[in-house]
Amino acid sequence: MERIDLLVTGIGRLVSPPGNVPRCGQQMKQVDVITEAAVAIREGRIVAFGAARDVMSLLASVEIVEIIDVGGRMVTPGLVDPHTHLVHGGSREHELALKRSGVSYLDILAQGGGILNTVQSTHAASEQELYDKAHRSLNEMLLNGVTTVEAKSGYGLTLEDELKQLRVAKHLNDTNPVEIVSTFMGAHAVPPAYKGRTEEYVDLIVNDMIPMVAEEELAEFCDVFCEQGVFTIEQTRRILLKGLEYGLLPKIHADEIEPLGGAELAGEIGAISAEHLLAATDKGFAAMAEQGVIPVLLPGTSFNLGLTKHARARDMIDAFELPVAIATDYNPGSCPTESIQLVMMLASLNLKMTPEEILTACTINAANALGRGQHIGSIAVGKRADLTIFDAPNLAYLPYHFGINHTFGVIKNGKVIVW
Ligand code: NIG
Ligand code: FE
């Protein structure tokens, strides 16, 4: 080793799940903790880490360009948010009173509001306006310690507007330190022009949208809102298999409200992940476990929808040995928050996950839900140097002291971005 670009030292606790692959069941509780640690970075990658004295002796005759001392704070892998609807126009605070008076999420959608309201605002917005709004949200996420974020389309619902949303996501990725991973979700709702003709809208998705998204290389994944009154199991299967033909890996908004069998379908087609899952059955969990589908749970959404029912994280982890991930689901309707730390607290409160499980869910399991477990999601030699520095003494402190931002600094690809 001739040179180190950045040495991060003075780390009170360096905490990370081990390895690159999803951590299933009880493995989620096992994280590596090194006290008084240091991390050495070269060309954006981790080249050494461990007890500070060991790292220092390894680097005895090596040129070190920059050293930062984090003052005894806790360092984890950069957090990964694997499910958001980052790019959209407008906001929906006008629906708050409706929601508070008891009108359900699906009823608001059936009346032409909800997602369809945001579709209008997104249509009306220019690419620059969409970029500016999403950019502010992305900054919030970064300040919360997030270094990689998934972004779904699905507020366009026409070929042109879906491409517009995805181009904005690409532009955000090209111009910001946080990596944006794009998912095509033309099947987020049935647009009013196709009301009562869902099958014809599915034709448009499979014949026109998917080929164009793939040709322009605007997404890696394809997602469908598989739900009562939205897209059926058969329609979801048709869309996702067509996506696969074009190299888009399947994800499903599955069994959120009704147990339609989205989790079973995720197993059947070998989806990379299935998300929400509040109503999923044991059969669905078994199908997911068999095929290694990652459950992405969104406790901020059930919280904000005022539900008393929550995803059965304990059963998924303890009985089905699934590799649970968590995400914000940031969107203007069911979960208008960018705060992964709030969602971590809700994973503790409502999903009864332990602090170690929550870290695993937000790092290596989330990275694998985006097909990036080899590169991010844990602290290991050769991996990208994405680190979050928390002004907290230990992991349990994060969900314990809630409602504030504990991030002290963020390093992305070996560069200090927040300090
Ligand atoms: O994941 N459930 C469907 N889609 C989003 C909500 C989108 C919206 O309400 O704008 C979700 O919760
Ligand atoms: Fe969502």
Which of helix, strand or coil describes residue 244? helix
For ligand 1, atom 9, the nearest C-alpha belongs to: 333
Q: What token pair was written down for 170?
A: 């690409």
| Crossing angle (nearest 10°) for helices 159-175 and 115-124 | 70
CA atoms of 286 and 230, how far apart (whole Å): 25
pLDDT at 112: 85
Q: pLDDT digits over 309-347, tens only?
A: 999 999 999 999 999 999 999 999 999 999 999 999 999
* Substitution site in 92, 96, 223, 329 for ligand 1 pocket (most atoms within 8 Å of beta carbon): 329
pLDDT at 65: 98
- The answer to which of 96-100, 156-160, 233-237 has the lowest mean pLDDT is 96-100
Nearest to 393 by CA among 105, 124, 151, 71: 71
Q: pLDDT digits over 54-111, tens only?
A: 999 999 999 999 999 999 999 999 999 999 999 999 999 999 999 999 999 889 988 8
Cβ–Cβ < 8 Å for 260, 232: yes
Length of the chain: 419
pLDDT at 71: 98
Nearest to 328 by CA among 119, 17, 80, 75: 80
How remote is the CA of residue 60 from the centroid of ligand 1, in Å? 53
CA atoms of 370 and 376, how far apart (whole Å): 10
- 80 forms beta bridges with 148
Provide the pLDDT confidence category of residue 398 given band limits of 50, 70 and 90.
very high
When pLDDT is averaged across residues 201-210 and rounded to a whole number, the result is: 98
Check whether 100 is labelled as a binding-site residue: no
Q: pLDDT digits over 119-142, tens only?
A: 999 999 999 999 999 999 999 999
Q: What token pair was written down for 334?
A: 């069911």
Question: Are β-strands 273-276 and 294-297 bridged in parallel, bridged antiparallel, or unpaired?
Answer: parallel
Is residue 51 over pLDDT 80? Answer: yes
Angle among Cα 344, 347, 353 to the nearest 5 degrees reads 115
* Substitution site in 111, 225, 275 for ligand 1 pocket (most atoms within 8 Å of beta carbon): 225
At the top level of CATH, the class of 3-78+377-418 is mainly beta
Sketch the domain layout of the chain as residue ranges.
Answer: 3-78+377-418, 79-369
pLDDT at 111: 86
How remote is the CA of residue 177 from the centroid of ligand 2, in Å? 23
pLDDT at 1: 76
Check whether 188 is labelled as a binding-site residue: yes
**Predicted-complex ipTM score:** 0.97
Which of ligand 1's atoms lies nearest the C-alpha of 114? 9
Mean pLDDT, the chain, integer = 97
Give residue ranges with CB within 6 A of ligand 1: 85, 114-115, 118, 225, 253, 256, 301, 329, 331-334
CA atoms of 301 and 16, how far apart (whole Å): 26
How remote is the CA of residue 27 from the centroid of ligand 2, in Å? 27
CATH superfamily of 79-369: Metal-dependent hydrolases (3.20.20.140)
- In Å, the largest CA–CA distance within the chain is 71
Nearest to 350 by CA among 399, 395, 398: 399
Check whether 153 is labelled as a binding-site residue: no
- Identical fold for domains 3-78+377-418 and 79-369, yes or no, is no
DSSP state letter for 393:
S
CA atoms of 300 and 283, how far apart (whole Å): 25
When pLDDT is averaged across residues 252-275 and rounded to a whole number, the result is: 97
